[in-house]
Amino acid sequence: MRVSNCSVSFWQEAVDLLSDICGPAHVLTDTDILYSYGQDETLGLNFGFDILVKPGTAEEVAAIVKTCNELRIPITPRGGGSGVTGGALPIQGGVVVSLERLNKIIRIDEINGYVVAESGVITAELCEQVEQHGLYFPVQPSSKAYSFIGGNVAENAGSIHSCRYGTTAQYVLNLEVVLPTGAIIWTGANVPKNATGLNLTPLFVGSEGVLGIITKVVYRLIRRPEHEVTLLAGFETMEAACNAVLAIKQASISPAAVELIGQEALHLTAAYLNRTLPLVKEGIKAHLLIGLQEVTESALLHAMEKTGSVLEKYTTEPILAGTTALEKEQLWKLRFSIGAALSGKGKTYRDIDISIPLSLLYQYITKVEEIAASYHLAVACFGHALDGNLHTMIMLEQHMGPQAEAKAAEAVKNIYAYAIANGGVISGEHGIGMLQKEFMEVQFSEDHLALSRSIKRLLDPRDILNPGKIF
Amino acid sequence: MRVSNCSVSFWQEAVDLLSDICGPAHVLTDTDILYSYGQDETLGLNFGFDILVKPGTAEEVAAIVKTCNELRIPITPRGGGSGVTGGALPIQGGVVVSLERLNKIIRIDEINGYVVAESGVITAELCEQVEQHGLYFPVQPSSKAYSFIGGNVAENAGSIHSCRYGTTAQYVLNLEVVLPTGAIIWTGANVPKNATGLNLTPLFVGSEGVLGIITKVVYRLIRRPEHEVTLLAGFETMEAACNAVLAIKQASISPAAVELIGQEALHLTAAYLNRTLPLVKEGIKAHLLIGLQEVTESALLHAMEKTGSVLEKYTTEPILAGTTALEKEQLWKLRFSIGAALSGKGKTYRDIDISIPLSLLYQYITKVEEIAASYHLAVACFGHALDGNLHTMIMLEQHMGPQAEAKAAEAVKNIYAYAIANGGVISGEHGIGMLQKEFMEVQFSEDHLALSRSIKRLLDPRDILNPGKIF
């Protein structure tokens, strides 16, 4: 369904109705403006659509949804546009609802430890604000500088801290959601324990905008851990790095981050940054970046010693420790530049975000590289090693042409089949969006899919909301 | 719908069909046996029903569900029978499916940190088994000696440890569920991070057996904290105890348990135990039992000091510390005997399990006592103070007659109205079952209820599965 071939007067009527709801200043049809809302961070894709709407309240969102539902116009909700599986791409045209004006932090409740905020608040902004009240929101994705909290919830975002603190789902107490009917509901309550009725909140977490539009988020917050250190270890082989990760899992340490970076990602990013970086040198095939956070200094020292003594068994290189903000920034610099190094200047990548049982970490990486190599493709491997959630990006360049894309698609198919056959899932934190739909049938049983599809149909019988995603 | 008035031949046919599925030894109709399956721990209630079935596999459960669905026979799934809101009561008669034969721990995966077990495994048994592998399952409800893990999942059980470790929901990676159609699905995957498709697992967590019958559970496990201590503080007033809880929340301590026990519960339980108990004496109006668990001894000492210095501001009594198993057992003895002290010998209680914003802790307790007193009823108050999840049980005795029950019902209505108006929920961990149904409309908006009901109808259009619960 692409409705753009309807008559001009149809769209003019839609613009008028939406302008009545949001005010004409927030209903846009200018091609140049629409262009930048037709893309997120998925490959180099851009989709044309018809009307951009920027509502200012949940009630306006509800009225937009009702109107579009009556007119059978597809709606694509949009947060910060940081997705890599196409969740915010308006693939069937129609209306894009940008939540950028829902950007208010409504209440930070210090005593009860939660924050109520509109879904268009930027993640980093929320994190900073709650920290000023002595509180902490630990799930900070790499895109936090521009991702929206509503998008984080819709994708059940993870972060480098998920191995200790879990993913977004574990912090969502309550959501205000506009259903495809235009009804506005609060899914839960602002209390940490709740066994009252069906558990609706998590149904919307990770639902990628296909069941409702999130307009407010209530996050449970924790106390900020007061003592923190970053360790960097270099390894002569990827196998040694993976074995170190397994050993950390078995030791009674609970690191706040264990990020693995493979050789290809190391070298590409070092070249992109074009500066001297710690432990980037001949003979180093993988890095482990380890974040430790503890409530006391002595507990931190204990965790450092324990982690150090584990790491030493797998590398002869010195282990670097960063304690000041500057030192930590230097150690994390490479990790947080990988995304930028892999894209831009005609480069892009096919995102792979598989989660596999930790015991298969090395076996999985080897298999991915083997499959990619068989298609003459290169892979940049990095990510959340202790969660078994790695990003093994297949690198693409414009000059490689559609043939390379076709090869990448074949390689992805083989990699996914391997991961699923071995207990893995095709997405740990990036979602299905439009990019991974075809693999849902490989991942799930027919009965599972039938149930998921029937829930979508129940909530959105006209398939108005983010159509063409997940299913 | 109570189908027991159908003809004898109808029930004989049902028995025959179910015997074909499970074997005749596991299909029971003996009145004496059925009697003990007609009750759980809800008031003194007992419901007659027609056939007790004890399947041995998920496939048998599926076949039972299909058969009952065809014959329109209500099915009540049953775990350990430890519920206090009537979730396992066969209020419409028909078939009770006891999961007691699904009692195998299938796999403890030490490397990946999870356990796969059938839903009829006893909670304490699972905890002990995983601890033998150096792992830990922290959500251990007071009824762990006889509750089943499937029941814990179906009710989203909490425990004294929930203030630090969360509720059952936060540990469920994956469930095998028999849907009302008889289809068997795995809801998720055995990996800690998963953003693949709709989030079906938590829909079944806390669903109280109305959406499906849980046959296998995969729990994520953590490392057992190695250092542990219990503190007991006595307070001259309930207000001082509540203020101490608020102060603990604000301090950077993360206790593994903060249990509050009020005067009535203290005295009743002390009388029931009939022995000398620490800090049970004239002038003590409330206890706080605090569990601290840390990874190192020095962190534990730090937490003890910090907690002690908070508590000292609110009491002049010495704070007792238990470090050995025996000492801890002595400190916890009273807390874990409250349930027994409140029931038996003609006594019972109306369970109240409200979760309220922590900042209202004292205000809420005062209000409950005020409301109960206005109906000449007594309240035993205890529970998970740091979560704002208190059990304020209205005590009833047989000799008080139906008039007292009617008064209790009125009191409950007023207490719930107060809690809901102040941001609370009517159940923190015990669920809705049959006992709290009437309050769903007070708790939720019409749109919320409509969505919940439509999900129930979608999965179970004939209302076969645990009918009369939640809705």
Rounded to 5°, angle at Cα A170 from A471 and B336: 130
Are residues B445 and A357, on separate chains, in Cβ contact within 8 Å? Answer: no
Closest to B169 (Cα-Cα) out of B459, B431, B462, B460: B431
pLDDT at position A32: 96
pLDDT at position B178: 98
- A289 and A367 together in one domain: no
For range B358-385, the mean pLDDT: 97
- B218 and B231 together in one domain: no
Is the pLDDT assigned to residue B4 strictly greater than 60?
Answer: no
Are residues A193 and B167, on separate chains, in Cβ contact within 8 Å? Answer: yes
Q: In this structure, what CATH number is given to the domain that contains residue B400?
A: 3.30.70.2740
**Residue A443 domain-assigned?**
no
B29/chain A closest Cα distance in angstroms:
32
| Amino acid at the residue A309 | S
What tokens does A67 get?
């109107």
Closest to B343 (Cα-Cα) out of B42, B35, B34, B38: B42
pLDDT at position B7: 80
Read off the pLDDT of residues A275-305 as tens digits, 9 standing for 90 and up: 989 999 999 999 999 999 988 888 899 999 9
User: Are B105 and B121 a contacting pair, CB within 8 Å?
Assistant: yes
B331/chain A closest Cα distance in angstroms:
25
- B296 and B252 together in one domain: yes
pLDDT at position B188: 97
Read off the pLDDT of residues A314-334 as tens digits, 9 standing for 90 and up: 999 999 999 999 999 999 999
Residue A94, sorted as left (phi over 0), alpha (psi -120 to 50) or beta, turns out to be left
Residue B336 to residue B265: CA distance in whole angstroms: 11
What tokens does A434 get?
């439009």
Closest to A376 (Cα-Cα) out of A421, A398, A406: A406
- B217 and B126 together in one domain: yes
Is the pLDDT assigned to residue A342 strictly greater than 70?
Answer: yes
Closest to A368 (Cα-Cα) out of A405, A402, A419, A406: A419
- A251 and A172 together in one domain: no
Are residues B302 and A296, on separate chains, in Cβ contact within 8 Å? Answer: yes
Q: Could you tell me the residue range of the domain that residue B360 belongs to?
A: 343-431
Instruction: Count the domains in chain A.
Output: 4
Residue A132 to residue B161: CA distance in whole angstroms: 28
Cβ-nearest to A194 among B185, B224, B428: B428
For range B226-243, the mean pLDDT: 97
For range B168-178, the mean pLDDT: 98
Residue B43 to residue B396: CA distance in whole angstroms: 9
Looking at beta carbons, which residues of chain A come within 8 Å of B223?
A: 252, 254
Phi, psi of B282 (to 5 degrees): -50, 135
What tokens does A110 get?
């210090």
Which secondary-structure segment (H or E) carries A72? none
Phi, psi of B177 (to 5 degrees): -130, 135
- A204 and A162 together in one domain: yes
Q: Does B461 touch chain A (CB under 8 A)?
A: no
What tokens does B317 get?
């009594």
Phi, psi of A49 (to 5 degrees): -150, -175
Residue A351 to residue A415: CA distance in whole angstroms: 12
- B232 and B260 together in one domain: yes
**Residue A463 domain-assigned?**
no
**Residue B439 domain-assigned?**
no
Arithmetic mean of pLDDT over chain A: 95
pLDDT at position B3: 53
Query: Which of B190, B223, B256 lies at the terminal end of a domain, its last residue?
Result: B223
- A238 and A309 together in one domain: yes
Read off the pLDDT of residues A220-261 as tens digits, 9 standing for 90 and up: 999 988 899 999 999 999 999 999 999 999 998 899 999 999
Read off the pLDDT of residues A46-85 as tens digits, 9 standing for 90 and up: 999 999 999 999 999 999 999 999 999 999 999 999 999 9
**Residue B238 domain-assigned?**
yes
Closest to A181 (Cα-Cα) out of A413, A471, A452, A461: A461
Where does the pLDDT of residue B296 fall: very low under 50, low under 70, confident under 90, or very high at 90 and above? confident
> Measuring CA to CA, how many Å separate B366 from each of B350, B382, B427?
18, 13, 19
Where does the pLDDT of residue A6 fall: very low under 50, low under 70, confident under 90, or very high at 90 and above? low
Q: Does B198 touch chain A (CB under 8 A)?
A: yes
Interface predicted TM-score of the whole assembly (ipTM), two decimals: 0.96
Q: In this structure, what CATH number is given to the domain that contains residue A260?
A: 3.30.70.2190
Is the pLDDT assigned to residue B1 strictly greater than 50?
Answer: no
User: Are B265 and B382 a contacting pair, CB within 8 Å?
Assistant: yes
Beta-carbon contacts of B24 under 8 Å, excluding residues fewer than 6 positions away, are: none
Strands A347-350 and A389-397: what pairing?
antiparallel
Q: In this structure, what CATH number is given to the domain that contains residue B54?
A: 3.30.43.10
User: How large is the C-alpha radius of gyration of chain B?
Assistant: 23
Query: Which of B101, B125, B160 lies at the terminal end of a domain, its last residue?
Result: B101
Residue B205 to residue B199: CA distance in whole angstroms: 11
Where does the pLDDT of residue B315 fall: very low under 50, low under 70, confident under 90, or very high at 90 and above? very high
Closest to A341 (Cα-Cα) out of A260, A262, A232, A266: A266
B window 300-339, beta carbon within 8 A of A: 302-303
- A247 and A298 together in one domain: yes
Chain A residue with the nearest C-alpha to that of B176: A448
> Measuring CA to CA, how many Å separate B11 from each of A261, A313, B55?
65, 68, 18
Looking at beta carbons, which residues of chain B come within 8 Å of A450?
A: 183
Residue B447 to residue B401: CA distance in whole angstroms: 39
Query: Which of A193, A223, A253 lies at the terminal end of a domain, its last residue?
Result: A223
Residue A26 to residue B352: CA distance in whole angstroms: 49
Are residues B199 and A197, on separate chains, in Cβ contact within 8 Å? Answer: no
User: Are B379 and B393 a contacting pair, CB within 8 Å?
Assistant: yes
C-alpha dihedral sign at A249, A252, A258, A263: negative
Are residues B299 and A299, on separate chains, in Cβ contact within 8 Å? Answer: yes
Interface size A-B, in CB pairs within 8 Å, comes to 271
Let me know if B276 is exposed, middle or buried by CB neighbors in 10 A (0-12, 13-18, 19+): exposed
CA of residue A130 relative to chain centroid, distance: 21
Is the pLDDT assigned to residue A150 strictly greater than 80?
Answer: yes
Residue B261 to residue B242: CA distance in whole angstroms: 11
User: Are A388 and A357 a contacting pair, CB within 8 Å?
Assistant: yes
**Residue A198 domain-assigned?**
yes
- B74 and B119 together in one domain: no
Mutate to test the interface with B, among A110, A441, A451, A460 (most CBs of B within 10 A): A451
For residue B341, the number of C-alpha atoms closer than 13 Å in the C-beta half-sphere is: 21
Let me know if B340 is exposed, middle or buried by CB neighbors in 10 A (0-12, 13-18, 19+): exposed
Q: Cβ–Cβ contacts within 10 Å for residue A278, how many? A: 16
- A87 and A145 together in one domain: no
**Residue A462 domain-assigned?**
no
Is the pLDDT assigned to residue B258 strictly greater than 80?
Answer: yes
Looking at beta carbons, which residues of chain A come within 8 Å of B155?
A: 195
Tokens 């149809």 locate to: A10
Where does the pLDDT of residue B6 fall: very low under 50, low under 70, confident under 90, or very high at 90 and above? low
Looking at beta carbons, which residues of chain B come within 8 Å of A351?
A: none
pLDDT at position A224: 86
Read off the pLDDT of residues B59-71 as tens digits, 9 standing for 90 and up: 999 999 999 999 9
Mutate to test the interface with B, among A193, A226, A452, A460 (most CBs of B within 10 A): A193
Instruction: Give the DSSP letter of residue B38.
Output: S
For residue A125, the number of C-alpha atoms closer than 13 Å in the C-beta half-sphere is: 15
**Residue A287 domain-assigned?**
yes
Cβ-nearest to A203 among B203, B226, B254: B203
A window 385-404, beta carbon within 8 A of B: 387-389
**Residue B306 domain-assigned?**
yes
Q: Does B424 touch chain A (CB under 8 A)?
A: yes
- A312 and A327 together in one domain: yes
Let me know if B278 is exposed, middle or buried by CB neighbors in 10 A (0-12, 13-18, 19+): middle
Strands B95-98 and B75-78: what pairing?
parallel
Is the pLDDT assigned to residue B2 strictly greater than 70?
Answer: no
Phi, psi of B364 (to 5 degrees): -65, -45
Name the 3-class secondary structure at B224.
coil
Looking at beta carbons, which residues of chain B come within 8 Å of A163?
A: 192
Read off the pLDDT of residues B108-139 as tens digits, 9 standing for 90 and up: 999 999 999 999 999 999 999 999 999 999 99
